[in-house]
Amino acid sequence: MCAITFGSFTRRWHNADGVDRVRFVGLWNGEGGSGPGGTQNMVETVRRYAGRVSIIDTRQLFGL
């Protein structure tokens, strides 16, 4: 079982449910995070549990 907690949001995936089907799409500038619950932490956590991660880079999208 995998449990990911961010703030008051908790989502649990059981191996039987197919953790390999978890998808995370993040809007992120790629910079380091501010700790647990940030975008970087979420990306690392999903990757650790074999979920697929797609990042929309705000630097390219908005020229920031």
Beta carbons of 41 and 35 less than 8 angstroms apart: yes
If we measure between CA atoms, which residue out of 7, 3, 53, 9 comes closest to residue 30? 53
Among 18-22, 47-51, 55-59, the range of highest mean pLDDT: 55-59
pLDDT single digits (tens) 26-51:
899 998 877 788 889 888 888 887 77
The SS3 call for residue 10 is strand
6 in Cβ contact with 34 (< 8 Å): no
The pTM of the full predicted model, rounded to 2 decimals, is 0.64
**Which residues, in sequence order, are CB contacts of 31 under 8 Å at separation 6+?**
40
Helices vs strands, H then E, count in the chain:
2, 4
